[in-house]
Amino acid sequence: MIFTELEISDVRFPTSRSLDGSDAMNPDPDYSAAYVVLRTDVGDGHEGHGFAFTIGRGNDVQAAAIASLRPYVVGRPVATVLADLGGFWRELVHDSQLRWLGPEKGVMHMAIAAVVNALWDLRAKREGLPVWRLLSRLSPEELVDLVDFRYLDDALTREEALQLLRAAQPGRAEREEHLLRAGYPAYTTSPGWLGYDDEKLRRLCKEAVADGFGQIKLKVGADLADDVRRMTIARQACGPDFPIAVDANQRWDVPTAIRWMRELARFDPHWIEEPTSPDDLLGHATIARELAPMRVATGEHVANRVVFKQLLQLDAISYLQIDATRVAGVNENVAILLLAAKFGVPVCPHAGGVGLCELVQHLAMFDYVAVSGEMTDRVIEYVDHLHEHFVDPVVIRDGRYVAPVAPGFSTTIRPRTLAEYAYPHGRVWSGAAPAEEAVGGTPEPGRPGPEMAS
Amino acid sequence: MIFTELEISDVRFPTSRSLDGSDAMNPDPDYSAAYVVLRTDVGDGHEGHGFAFTIGRGNDVQAAAIASLRPYVVGRPVATVLADLGGFWRELVHDSQLRWLGPEKGVMHMAIAAVVNALWDLRAKREGLPVWRLLSRLSPEELVDLVDFRYLDDALTREEALQLLRAAQPGRAEREEHLLRAGYPAYTTSPGWLGYDDEKLRRLCKEAVADGFGQIKLKVGADLADDVRRMTIARQACGPDFPIAVDANQRWDVPTAIRWMRELARFDPHWIEEPTSPDDLLGHATIARELAPMRVATGEHVANRVVFKQLLQLDAISYLQIDATRVAGVNENVAILLLAAKFGVPVCPHAGGVGLCELVQHLAMFDYVAVSGEMTDRVIEYVDHLHEHFVDPVVIRDGRYVAPVAPGFSTTIRPRTLAEYAYPHGRVWSGAAPAEEAVGGTPEPGRPGPEMAS
């Protein structure tokens, strides 16, 4: 029983056509997926679905990178690969020739994410479990076998990881039950797009609170006077103690970040996200030190576990924001969750874009059940966008992610969407569909769109 | 007068077929180039040639990334683009959608390198100068305009860069003359491949000294007892004061690097290169601190100027190894040379692979003329491999790079090579040429090949 096919689609949503919002770093994203379907000759009807998320141009490059991994999958025995996903991960990431293209970063690393996540989707479907429950039932030994500790040893050894996981074993079942009952807290970025007028900002802030969200996030960084005015409104609308995070999307250099956020400190932002380049670890540390006790968050553009390790070693972040498709899939995120647990830093996953909410909920829930064992001071980002294209979309109730129960990784996009949004020949791109329909409904007049992947 | 064509070739040299050497991280590189030719309708016969270097699999992904940049070049006015290569660089690197695929790292960043370097080749050919002399004749203002200071300000401002360049203006002409007369010191990695037997190592060490090279480099990291024995031989053969660098090719984690190099310290290695992950800046700093006064070198896999900035801020490296196609071409390397000069760290470029020697000599020579003004304690790597495929190959005389005088960037590969080594349909790959001929000559019996790009 072997893998017979690794099918790739270039799927793009023309979010830039009808949505005029976004921020100065990202004026016109077309949320896209370089999408993978793995097929086998097992005959059980199960496929593995996964993708890398991009924001438009270059999605074809991402697809080409995934195609270069085809020989590592097609023809291989299904059971053997799925039984040793740690070994498979190492094989892909440490391929000596492909490694040159990173190493462990950018297009090639995200391609590995797409394939690895598709394998997890398949494995979970075969075992009849959602990925979060599948991971949560693995033994500590099985979990550390998923992780590549190369370059991590000075911060976290395999033995330390085992101890962490063993310490979290008691209570796994109760926490799983708790998640199925109560879900996981979400926060919403919806009120905070830069382009909203003040009245709309005020209204959406109040709605977010009324809808039960425990936190909101505002985009900042384009104009300081605007940011001060918008934070004043948001603080008034949400109340003095409501967590309001702000996000600069890498807009600033280090001195600017410090200067700017000193002006916004009086509004007590819950965190400042991506104040500068995601590669500038020392910059993040300097910003965190200068602005303390203000908290710094980052992660959606952090290339790999080695970079996260250093952000933790430097005490540069108070919240670690994992991304489901930036690093090399589930396995690397297990490593990052373990690092965060070791350093006692809460994980608040990045989501938005297309399908990132669907994926990352599984990782946060697994973290709660089997790694950190904590839900306090943790939230998963939520953006209400493009979920209708998924077979098993996220469900938000009372400001919380409802725990998914369908087997798999919630990665499967509807076949009709795959056909209509195929780039450049799908109906949506060849001109047959109007823009409003193309992005999944008529946007509210004047409603700016999400930026980047939030 | 516009750019009419951006032609891409996937060129691979089957170096893994007949050369059995290399190291444990890179057992079988097929040195490759994702190669770009820019054509115009100017009618002066000039083309711009550039490439990204890879080591085989994934060279097609690299080519696809370059193809995604075609719309930024084809149709654009030649004179306008060449007159503002700083602006063009920013446009490519900060394209909001493509940026998501890095940002500023990996396949997409190397694609920008290929195109930017091709533009510099074209500009230099039009001006009738080799790139190093073209750059060396730009004013300090023109040079800083090439550089993107975003994310650098906390280490180097535009004004500081201007001051550095102005301070180096006196003596530019003398240093240019000196280079034309005396060339630039080279070091050779040829004696040090892991697979050599002891007698061959001894002989090649002696030959390198006799040939006038001022330094050699040995691969280490596979087996400590072997390394001790080989260093003993090399030290005996070269003499007590001859610089012998060692290179671990990212093989170790931090504790292993420290332990291993303490054992080799008694041989007084000139530097330890790539002791661990290129992303582990703190790891490099720890290794440098623990092993001081031993010197640490790195750079061939450092993703961009922001990462180099931090290596310098951390005092983690004593030698900075620029690479011509890893970061986004000439412009980013100008930024990195300025950073190195600000921090007083000598630049010793990485070379080898295919064409890296050809490119990087221009950058080192420009640094000597117009940036650092220094040649002391600086060497350019040299590996004697694949130069015969270039129209204007490097020339080594008495252990020094002879300054190139032909207009351009020495990037142009012979048309016959482009045809025969085209992957997968060129004569070499379709099976019509024997392996020995394919790699450019019968290898010496038992001679292991170069690893990675040295």
- CB-defined contacts A:B, below 8 A: 186
Q: How many CA atoms lie within 13 A of B245 on its CB side?
A: 33
Chain B residue nearest residue A107, CA to CA:
B101
Residues of A in contact with B278 (CB under 8 A): 103
Assess whether pLDDT exceeds 60 at residue A22. no
Q: Of A46, A105, A350, A362, which residue is the catalytic one? A: A350
- State the pLDDT at residue A24: 52
Can you list the domains of chain B with their CATH numbers? 3-138+413-439 (3.30.390.10), 168-401 (3.20.20.120)
- Per-residue confidence band for B319, with pLDDT thresholds at 50, 70 and 90: very high
Structure tokens belonging to residue A399: 């400001």
Helix, strand or coil, per DSSP, at residue B453: coil
Residues of A in contact with B281 (CB under 8 A): 281-282, 310
A270 catalytically annotated: no
| Closest CB from A100, A255, A314 relative to B153 | A255
Assess whether pLDDT exceeds 60 at residue B334. yes
- State the pLDDT at residue B19: 55
Angle at B17 between CA B12 and CA B18, to 5 degrees: 120
The four Cα atoms B281, A100, B87, B37 give a dihedral, to 10 degrees, of: 160
- State the pLDDT at residue A431: 80
Assess whether pLDDT exceeds 50 at residue B21. no
Region B91-119 average pLDDT: 97
Cβ–Cβ under 8 Å, residues A165 and A143? yes
CB within 8 Å of A305: residues ≥ 6 apart: A148, A151, A152, A327, A332, A335, A336, A339
For A5, the enclosing helix (H) or strand (E) is strand A3-12
Who has greater pLDDT, A127 or A449?
A: A127
Residues of A in contact with B101 (CB under 8 A): 54, 58, 61-62, 106-107, 110
- State the pLDDT at residue B415: 97
Assess whether pLDDT exceeds 70 at residue A123. yes
The answer to whether the Cβ–Cβ distance between B154 and A310 falls below 8 Å is no
Residues of A in contact with B303 (CB under 8 A): 105, 279, 303
Q: B140: burial class by Cβ within 10 Å (0-12, 13-18, 19+)?
A: middle
A309 catalytically annotated: no
Q: What is the DSSP string of A186-201?
A: EEEEEEE-TT--HHHH
- State the pLDDT at residue A409: 98
- Per-residue confidence band for A23, with pLDDT thresholds at 50, 70 and 90: low
| Closest CB from B107, B306, B309 relative to A106 | B107
Question: How many CB atoms sit inside 10 A of residue B77's CB?
Answer: 12
Task: Please give the Cα distance from B363 to B332 (Å, whole number).
Answer: 11
- State the pLDDT at residue A43: 97
Residues of A in contact with B280 (CB under 8 A): 151, 306, 309-310
The answer to whether the Cβ–Cβ distance between B280 and A452 falls below 8 Å is no
Chain A residue nearest residue B275, CA to CA:
A151
Task: Please give the Cα distance from A113 to A356 (Å, whole number).
Answer: 12
Task: Please give the Cα distance from A276 to A308 (Å, whole number).
Answer: 15
Assess whether pLDDT exceeds 60 at residue A452. no
The whole-angstrom distance between A395's CA and the closest CA on chain B is: 27
Chain A residue nearest residue B68, CA to CA:
A58
| Closest CB from A100, A314, A452 relative to B54 | A100
Return the residue in A16, A55, A61, A109 with the most chain B beta carbons within 10 A, the one to mutate for interface testing. Answer: A61
ipTM of the complex: 0.94
What are the distances in angstroms from CA A452 to CA A51, A56, B99, B295?
A: 17, 10, 10, 41
Per-residue model confidence as pLDDT tens digits over B243-262: 999 999 999 999 999 999 99
Return the residue in A69, A107, A147 with the most chain B beta carbons within 10 A, the one to mutate for interface testing. Answer: A107
Per-residue model confidence as pLDDT tens digits over A304-339: 999 999 999 999 999 999 999 999 999 999 999 999
Q: How many CA atoms lie within 13 A of B217 on its CB side?
A: 26
Paired strand residues for A187: A381
Q: Out of A80-94, A157-171, B13-27, B306-320, pick the least confident.
A: B13-27
Question: How many CB atoms sit inside 10 A of residue B433's CB?
Answer: 16
| Closest CB from A54, A101, A310 relative to B282 | A310
- State the pLDDT at residue A193: 82
Structure tokens belonging to residue A373: 């064992």
The answer to whether the Cβ–Cβ distance between A107 and B107 falls below 8 Å is yes
Strands A32-40 and A3-12, by their bridges, are antiparallel
DSSP category for residue A40: E
- State the pLDDT at residue A283: 98
Q: How many CA atoms lie within 13 A of A101 on its CB side?
A: 35
Longest dimension (CA), chain A: 63
The whole-angstrom distance between A356's CA and the closest CA on chain B is: 15
Cβ–Cβ under 8 Å, residues B191 and B234? yes
For A6, the enclosing helix (H) or strand (E) is strand A3-12
- State the pLDDT at residue A446: 33
- Per-residue confidence band for B326, with pLDDT thresholds at 50, 70 and 90: very high
Q: Of A46, A49, A105, A219, which residue is the catalytic one? A: A219
- State the pLDDT at residue B195: 76
Assess whether pLDDT exceeds 50 at residue A55. yes
- Per-residue confidence band for B433, with pLDDT thresholds at 50, 70 and 90: low
Residues of B in contact with A306 (CB under 8 A): 277, 279-280
Task: Please give the Cα distance from A200 to A164 (Å, whole number).
Answer: 45
The answer to whether the Cβ–Cβ distance between A107 and B65 falls below 8 Å is yes
Who has greater pLDDT, A434 or B89?
A: B89
- For all residues of chain B together, what is the average pLDDT? 93
For A337, the enclosing helix (H) or strand (E) is helix A329-343
Q: Which range, A205-214, B23-32, B190-199, is most confident?
A: A205-214
| Closest CB from A57, A110, A452 relative to B68 | A57
Assess whether pLDDT exceeds 60 at residue B453. no
Residues of A in contact with B153 (CB under 8 A): 253-256
Q: What is the Cα gyration radius of chain A?
A: 21
Residues of A in contact with B102 (CB under 8 A): 105-106
Strands B380-382 and A380-382, by their bridges, are unpaired
The answer to whether the Cβ–Cβ distance between A107 and B110 falls below 8 Å is no
Q: What is the DSSP string of B34-73?
A: EEEEEEESS-S---EEEEEEE-STTHHHHHHHHHTTHHHH
- Per-residue confidence band for B194, with pLDDT thresholds at 50, 70 and 90: confident
Amino acid present at A35: Y
B101: Cα separation from own chain's centroid: 23
Assess whether pLDDT exceeds 80 at residue B335. yes
Taken in order B58, B60, B64, B69, the sign of the CA dihedral is: positive
For B207, the enclosing helix (H) or strand (E) is helix B198-210
Region A96-105 average pLDDT: 96
Residues of A in contact with B55 (CB under 8 A): 96-97, 100
- Per-residue confidence band for B18, with pLDDT thresholds at 50, 70 and 90: low
Task: Please give the Cα distance from A235 to B244 (Å, whole number).
Answer: 63
Who has greater pLDDT, B234 or B191?
A: B234
Q: What is the DSSP string of B145-173?
A: HT---TTTTTT--HHHHHHHHHHT-TTHH
Task: Please give the Cα distance from B314 to B301 (Å, whole number).
Answer: 18
- State the pLDDT at residue A451: 37
Question: How many CB atoms sit inside 10 A of residue A262's CB?
Answer: 12
Assess whether pLDDT exceeds 90 at residue A16. no
- Per-residue confidence band for A28, with pLDDT thresholds at 50, 70 and 90: confident
**Percent of chain A at pLDDT exceeding 70:** 93
Task: Please give the Cα distance from B75 to A274 (Å, whole number).
Answer: 36
Q: Of B217, B342, B350, B389, which residue is the catalytic one? A: B350
- Per-residue confidence band for B440, with pLDDT thresholds at 50, 70 and 90: very low
Q: Out of A68-82, B168-182, B256-270, B434-448, pick the least confident.
A: B434-448
Task: Please give the Cα distance from B238 to A203 (Å, whole number).
Answer: 77
pTM, to two decimals: 0.95
The answer to whether the Cβ–Cβ distance between B250 and A103 falls below 8 Å is yes
Task: Please give the Cα distance from B374 to B323 (Å, whole number).
Answer: 19
Q: How many separate helices (H) and strands (E) can be counted in chain B?
A: 20, 12
Per-residue model confidence as pLDDT tens digits over B146-170: 999 999 999 999 999 999 999 999 9
- For all residues of chain A together, what is the average pLDDT? 93
- Answer whether the bond into residue A293 is a cis peptide, omega within 30°: yes
Region B206-223 average pLDDT: 96
Task: Please give the Cα distance from A110 to A118 (Å, whole number).
Answer: 12
Q: Which range, A438-442, B110-114, B428-432, is most confident?
A: B110-114
Cβ–Cβ under 8 Å, residues A258 and A291? yes
The answer to whether the Cβ–Cβ distance between B57 and A105 falls below 8 Å is no
The whole-angstrom distance between A315's CA and the closest CA on chain B is: 12
Structure tokens belonging to residue A146: 């998923």
Assess whether pLDDT exceeds 70 at residue A39. yes
Return the residue in B96, B112, B312 with the most chain A beta carbons within 10 A, the one to mutate for interface testing. Answer: B96
Task: Please give the Cα distance from A288 to A300 (Å, whole number).
Answer: 18
Return the residue in B23, B97, B306 with the most chain A beta carbons within 10 A, the one to mutate for interface testing. Answer: B97
Assess whether pLDDT exceeds 50 at residue B449. no
Task: Please give the Cα distance from B344 to A122 (Å, whole number).
Answer: 54
Cβ–Cβ under 8 Å, residues B8 and B34? yes
Angle at A135 between CA A131 and CA A139, to 5 degrees: 160
Region A115-143 average pLDDT: 98
The answer to whether the Cβ–Cβ distance between A303 and B30 falls below 8 Å is no
The answer to whether the Cβ–Cβ distance between B103 and A301 falls below 8 Å is yes
The whole-angstrom distance between A349's CA and the closest CA on chain B is: 18
Q: What is the DSSP string of A221-281?
A: -S-HHHHHHHHHHHHHHH-TTS-EEEE-TT---HHHHHHHHHHHGGG--S-EE--S-TT-H
Longest dimension (CA), chain B: 63
Task: Please give the Cα distance from A81 to B207 (Å, whole number).
Answer: 49
Helix axes A329-343, A356-366, angle to 10 degrees: 50
CB within 8 Å of B447: residues ≥ 6 apart: B19, B21, B196, B200
